[in-house]
C-alpha cells in the first residue's frame, strides 16, 4: 500500500502539472431560438441582413496555445443524440432513393439519416488579418480512408457520379465534396468520415481541423497569444431540438489534450493507499498479537 501510494502521488502531480499547461478555448455559438433561455455566451455582432449564415466573433487567447505541439480544432454538439436507434438504422426510406427530374428512380448516395444530417458548419480563423492555416490531414484515421470509406474507382466511380442522387439536405453530390483534392473527395471526405463515426453520448466533440504549423512562420510554434477573429458559416440548424453548438480550440502536451481527470485519479488513489496503509498498520500493531493468540487457542 505504501509503495503504491509513494509511486502514484508523484505521477499524479506530474500529470496534473503537464495538464495545467494545456489550453482549451470553448465557444458556444449559433443563433439561439428566442424561446430558449440560455446562460451561455452567444454571438452579439451578428448582422443577419448582410450574411444570413455568417457570424464573426472575436476572442483573445492566452499563451497556452503556443508550445511547439499540435493544436486541435473541434466542433462539439450538446444535447444531440447521434446514437438514437431509429436514426442509426441504415438506409431506410426516405433516405434511400429519390426521383430525378427525368423521372428515374435512383439511389441516394450516401444513404441513411446520419449521412443526410451531416454537420456542415465551417470556420475560418484570422489572427490580425492573417488567415490561420488549418489542415484536414491527420483528422481521419488512415485505415478509415483506405478500408471502410474507400472510394470506388474507374467505372464504378463514374456510375456513382451519374446514377445516384445526393442526400436531400446536402447541397453537393458526394463526388463533388472536394474537387481540389481527390483524396478528400467522395466517401473519403474527412468531414464525412468524422461525422459517420457516430458518438455514443449526447454531448460529444468531433475533430474538425489541425493547425498546419508548416505553412506560416507566425504559427510554427502554435497559436500566438492575442486577438483572433473567427468567421462561422452557421448552416447547421440545432435550436429546433434544443441542442447547442460549440467551437473548441485545444492545445496538447506530452500527456495529450486537456484532461485533469487522469492526474487527479492518480493522486486520489495514491492518497487512499497511504491512508489505508496507515489504517492497516495500526490494526496490525494493535491486534496482530491477539490474532496469533487466537490461532494458537484453536490449535490447542
In the complex, the residues that contact ligand NAG under the rule CB under 6 A are: 47, 49-50, 56, 93, 97-99, 105, 117, 120, 126, 135, 137, 169, 171, 210, 212, 214, 229, 231, 235-237
Minimum CB distance to ligand NAG, residue 38 (Å): 21
**Residue (28 or 235) nearer to ligand NAG, CB:** 235
Min dist CB 236 to ligand NAG, Å, is: 5
Bond before 161 cis per omega within 30 degrees: no
Question: Shortest gap between Cβ of 137 and ligand NAG (angstroms)?
Answer: 6
Beta carbon nearer to ligand NAG, 2 or 241: 241
> In angstroms, what is the C-alpha Rg of the chain?
27
**What's the min distance (Å) between Cβ of 180 and ligand NAG?**
16
Rounded to whole angstroms, how far apart are CA atoms 93 and 204? Answer: 27
Beta strands across the sheet bearing 204-211 = 24-29, 244-251, 71-78, 204-211, 134-135
Helix (H, G, I), strand (E, B), or coil: what is residue 290? helix
Shortest gap between Cβ of 115 and ligand NAG (angstroms)? 10
Provide the minimum distance between the beta carbon of 23 and ligand NAG in the complex, in angstroms, as a whole number: 19
Q: Residues near 33 by Cβ (< 8 Å), separated by ≥ 6?
A: 239, 240, 242
Give me the residue label for grid cell 448516395.
109
Contacts of 198 (CB under 8 A, 6+ apart): 82, 83, 88, 114
Helices 2-20 and 261-299, interaxial angle, to 10°?
170
| DSSP structure string for 150-181 | PPP-THHHHHHHHHEE--TT-SS-GGGS-SS-
CB closer to ligand NAG, 115 vs 160: 115
Residue among 56 and 151 whose Cβ is closer to ligand NAG: 56
CB of 75 to ligand NAG, least distance (A): 13
Query: Which residue's CB is nearer to ligand NAG, number 98 or number 274?
Result: 98
CA distance 175 to 186: 4
3-state secondary structure of 8: helix
97 vs 218 by CB, closer to ligand NAG: 97
**Minimum Å distance from CB 283 to ligand NAG?**
56
Q: Which helix (H) or strand (E) holds 57?
A: strand 54-61
Instruction: Collapse the DSSP code of 44 into the 3-class scheme (helix H, G, I; strand E, B; otherwise coil) and give the result.
Output: coil
Smaller CB distance to ligand NAG: residue 169 or 271? 169
Nearer Cβ to ligand NAG (56/271): 56
Amino acid at each position: 500500500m505504501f509503495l503504491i501510494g509513494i509511486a502514484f502521488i508523484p505521477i499524479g502531480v506530474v500529470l496534473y502539472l503537464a495538464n495545467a499547461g494545456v489550453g482549451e478555448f470553448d465557444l458556444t455559438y449559433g443563433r439561439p431560438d428566442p424561446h430558449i433561455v440560455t446562460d451561455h455566451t452567444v454571438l452579439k455582432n451578428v448582422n443577419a441582413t448582410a450574411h444570413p449564415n455568417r457570424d464573426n466573433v472575436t476572442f483573445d487567447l492566452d499563451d497556452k496555445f503556443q508550445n511547439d505541439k499540435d493544436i486541435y480544432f473541434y466542433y462539439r454538439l450538446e444535447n444531440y443524440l447521434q446514437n438514437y436507434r431509429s436514426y442509426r438504422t441504415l438506409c431506410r426510406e426516405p433516405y434511400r432513393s429519390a426521383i430525378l427530374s427525368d423521372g428515374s428512380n435512383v439511389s441516394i448516395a450516401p444513404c441513411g439519416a446520419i449521412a443526410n444530417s451531416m454537420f456542415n458548419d465551417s470556420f475560418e480563423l484570422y489572427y490580425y488579418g492573417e488567415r490561420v492555416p488549418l489542415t484536414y490531414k491527420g483528422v481521419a484515421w488512415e485505415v478509415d480512408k483506405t478500408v471502410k470509406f474507400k472510394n470506388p474507382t474507374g467505372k464504378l466511380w463514374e456510375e456513382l457520379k451519374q446514377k445516384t442522387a445526393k442526400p436531400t439536405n446536402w447541397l453537393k453530390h458526394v463526388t463533388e465534396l472536394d474537387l481540389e483534392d481527390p483524396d478528400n473527395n467522395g466517401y473519403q471526405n474527412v468531414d464525412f468520415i468524422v461525422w459517420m463515426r457516430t458518438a455514443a453520448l449526447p454531448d460529444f466533440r468531433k475533430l474538425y481541423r489541425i493547425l498546419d504549423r508548416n505553412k506560416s512562420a507566425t504559427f510554427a510554434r502554435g497559436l500566438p497569444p492575442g486577438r483572433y477573429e473567427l468567421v462561422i458559416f452557421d448552416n447547421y440548424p440545432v435550436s429546433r431540438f434544443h441542442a447547442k453548438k460549440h467551437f473548441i480550440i485545444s492545445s496538447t502536451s506530452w500527456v495529450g489534450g486537456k484532461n485533469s481527470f487522469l492526474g487527479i485519479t492518480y493522486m486520489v488513489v495514491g492518497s487512499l493507499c497511504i491512508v489505508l496503509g496507515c489504517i492497516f498498520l495500526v490494526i496490525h500493531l494493535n491486534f496482530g498479537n491477539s490474532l496469533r493468540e487466537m490461532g494458537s487457542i484453536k490449535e490447542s
